[in-house]
Amino acid sequence: MLPTFSSKAFLAPMAGVSDPALRLQCKKMGAGLVVTEFTNIHSIIAKEKQLKEHMKTIQEFIEFSDQERPLSIQLFGSDLFALEKAAKIVEPYFDIIDYNMGCPAPHITQQMAGGALLQQTNLTEQIFETLVNAVKKPVTLKIRSGVTDASRFLFRDIAEIAEDQGIQMITFHPRTVNQGYSGNADWKLIKELKEISGIPIVGNGDITTPEDAKKMIDETNCDYVMIGRGAMGNPFLFEQINDYLKTNSYQEYSFKDRLDSFFDYLHLTSKYKIKFANLKGQAMRFTKGMKGGSKVRAKITFTTNIEELEKIMKNAYLTS
């Protein structure tokens, strides 16, 4: 059974972005569910073997904290044997196992994973069956609408197979794989999926404001919304969405508040092994839209350690 979610707004899995510090920050700001970055099933198996030799667990590889719960781990990869093994390794640590069938990146689709699987109904059925039988935790799915414009309704068959095989919730980003992030997410398709499905649907794509979140729920009747790019460098969005859905109003935050929240983020990162390049990326996002932000970002590019980064962000704070 799915856990109870404290809010309708979820944080999207984002490689290089939704690290354990940002997830925790979004959780504290009111995200109902947070999801790890997608994780290769073969890497999980290889890492677990290495870690076991040193009496360590997979938690050293996929870092998280209990405060993030309910916490979902996203897997990718279509080798059924590896999938079963990886799912069993991670099951004790996570509340939901999510499966990625949306990633458009060629290095993923070329290995018959991510969005490429949308056109492989037989393999997809076996994947869902394998996952659902491998673990007792709920298994969920994240999909795009199709691969090409002509195949943009593939989601209909995939969703039906998923439900038949015991998948408990579907997150739907209604763009095709070929679209990448161009054009708009076609929210009408979320409405259609919600109408034909008997399991909860999480609508995803192009939500950047509380008004967008309410609009998606009103227009599509989806059960939850998931926010990716709109939450990058802006964890306040979850609190704002929750307030807006309840009271039709929300508190605005200044850039000083946003920079303050970057320092909270940086403080949280000290507990984890997050790559410095990712921290720089986060710093850039927290300055997005800020007056003089492009100059700050140019300086961030040249930083080589946390002290330098902190100095630049403190200066930005003082002049914002």
Nearby residues of 52 by Cβ (< 8 Å), 6 or more positions away = none
Report which DSSP code applies to 230. Answer: G
Instruction: Please give the distance of CA 257 from its chain centroid, rounded to a whole number.
Output: 24
Contacts made by residues 257-261, CB under 8 angstroms, sequence distance 24+: 258/233, 258/234, 258/286, 258/287, 258/290, 259/286, 259/287, 259/290, 259/313, 259/316, 259/317, 259/320, 260/317, 261/25, 261/235, 261/236, 261/286
Catalytic residue list contains 26 = no
- Residue 204 makes contact with ligand FMN by CB under 6 A: yes
- Residue 192 makes contact with ligand FMN by CB under 6 A: no
Dist. CA 249–CA 11, nearest whole Å? 21
- Residue 12 makes contact with ligand FMN by CB under 6 A: yes
Binding residue for ligand FMN (CB under 6 A) from 13, 30, 115, 138?
13
Binding residue for ligand FMN (CB under 6 A) from 77, 146, 205, 210?
205
- Residue 229 makes contact with ligand FMN by CB under 6 A: yes
- Closer to ligand FMN by CB, 96 or 305: give it: 96
Between helix 154-164 and helix 187-196 the angle, nearest 10°, is 30
Binding residue for ligand FMN (CB under 6 A) from 74, 165, 176, 179?
74
Q: Which stretch binds ligand FMN (CB under 6 A): 51-59, 147-155, 199-207, 250-258?
A: 199-207
Catalytic: which of 9, 21, 96, 103?
A: 103
Q: How far is the CB of 56 from ligand FMN (least distance, A)?
A: 24
Dist. CA 45–CA 30, nearest whole Å? 33
The angle formed by the CA atoms of residues 145, 146 and 150, to the nearest 5 degrees, is 120
- Residue 212 makes contact with ligand FMN by CB under 6 A: no
- Closer to ligand FMN by CB, 23 or 142: give it: 142
- Closer to ligand FMN by CB, 120 or 305: give it: 120
**β-sheet bridge partners, residue 11:** 34, 227
Q: Which stretch binds ligand FMN (CB under 6 A): 96-104, 195-203, 266-274, 299-307?
A: 96-104
What token pair was written down for 148?
């090409």
Show the site string, 256-295: x = touches ligand FMN by CB under 6 A, - = not. Answer: ----------------------------------------
Q: How far is the CB of 103 from ligand FMN (least distance, A)?
A: 6
Q: How far is the CB of 102 from ligand FMN (least distance, A)?
A: 5
If you count them, how many residues does the chain have?
320
Residue closest to ligand FMN, measured at CB: 228
Show the site string, 34-53: x = touches ligand FMN by CB under 6 A, - = not. Answer: ---xx---------------
Dist. CA 76–CA 84, nearest whole Å? 12
Q: How far is the CB of 2 from ligand FMN (least distance, A)?
A: 18
Dist. CA 80–CA 85, nearest whole Å? 9
Determine the 3-state secondary structure of 151 from DSSP. Answer: coil
Q: Which residues are catalytic?
A: 103
- Which residues form the interface with ligand FMN (CB under 6 A)? 12-17, 37-38, 74, 100, 102-103, 142, 173, 204-207, 227-230
